[in-house]
Amino acid sequence: MVLLVISIASVKTYAQISVGVSVNIAPPVLPTYTQPPCPVDGYLWTPGYWAYDQDGGYYWVPGVWVSPPRVGYLWTPGYWGYNGAVYVFHEGYWGPHIGFYGGVNYGYGYVGTGYVGGRWAGNSFQYNTAVVNVNNTVVHNTYINKTVVNNVTVNNNSFNGPGGVTAQPRPQDRAAERDAHLQPTSDQVSHRQIAVKDRSQFAKVNNGQPVTTAMNRVNGNRFASDGNNARPSSRSNADNNPARPRPSESTDHPVSNQPRPVNNQQRPEGNQPRPVNQQRARTPQRQVPARHQAAPHRERQR
């Protein structure tokens, strides 16, 4: 019983201290993209967001369908908040209710407050196909409610605070903060780690337009902003492969340079006959005077 209390306390503590890195530069605006269809009945949508790496800066973590850790739990996305000095990232979490996520309109049900993309009905999740995309061949628990998308301000602001979204937590958001929360699943953590290793996802490389904006599942199909399959450039793939050295460190360079020292060693060998020929040419010149000197000597003996 004591262990159970400690476990619950640690879960609540995660929600209370779920403040991540702080940066003095605002995140880029949210890219516009098409949501891939839900591939598995029961999967929930987790919207894409800008994360931050100390070495590379902001990078885009694609939106993705994931399996929730528990039946009845919903995902509250993380968000960036500006406190007048720095931009602080508030980590997302799982819980029985949607909490405050900065008023950021991530789309596809996350319109800034709450979630209108679906609901739990017992042990099954029902999808509102008015705002989310599903694969009808595998997902059948659907309904349509278009009224939830009315009076929603559509913008691409990616943070809360001056210059971004000016939203404050509602009473129900405050109540959701007191729920028992769960941290991101191992699949979500892996998904983020994959994104940070892909140079094409960094804002300084893609100018705020990531190559992969969404995925149908973790380690699944990649999709570009237009909904087509994402095809990263070969240059990005070369830079992202840790087993393959970068152009400045490529092992191909020493290989391509090896013939040069070999040729340099062969050139002296090719030049060696020249001094031999010169010696042969000089030898007769030295012998000619010797013959001329021998003739007078013989005449003197006679």
Q: What is the DSSP string of 107-153?
A: BTTBSSSS--SEEEETTEEEEETTT--B-TTT---EE--GGGGTT--
User: What's the structural domain count of the chain?
Assistant: 2
How far is Cα 156 from Cα 26, in angstroms, rounded to an integer?
13
Same domain, 285 and 176: no
Contact 123, 23 (CB under 8 A): no
Residue 256 falls inside a structural domain: no
Contact 112, 126 (CB under 8 A): no
Two structure tokens written together for 222: 């990649």
Contact 196, 59 (CB under 8 A): yes
Two structure tokens written together for 27: 């995140």
Residue 38 falls inside a structural domain: yes
Same domain, 187 and 57: yes
Question: Is the pTM of the predicted complex or chain greater than 0.75?
Answer: no
Output the pLDDT for position 152: 55
Residue 274 falls inside a structural domain: yes
Same domain, 56 and 111: yes
DSSP state letter for 91:
P
Same domain, 173 and 274: no
pLDDT tens-digit map of 230-256:
875 444 443 444 333 333 333 333 333
Residue ranges in the chain whose pLDDT is less than 50: 1-17, 233-302
Same domain, 242 and 291: no
Same domain, 285 and 209: no
Same domain, 92 and 140: yes
Output the pLDDT for position 148: 76
Same domain, 239 and 289: no
Same domain, 240 and 288: no
Output the pLDDT for position 263: 41
User: What range defines the domain where residue 285 resides?
Assistant: 270-301
Residue 119 falls inside a structural domain: yes
Listed in sequence order, the residues at least 6 apart from 215 whose beta carbon sits closer than 8 Å to its beta carbon are 36, 62, 63, 64, 65, 191, 221, 222, 223
Output the pLDDT for position 156: 87
Same domain, 90 and 231: yes
Contact 48, 62 (CB under 8 A): yes
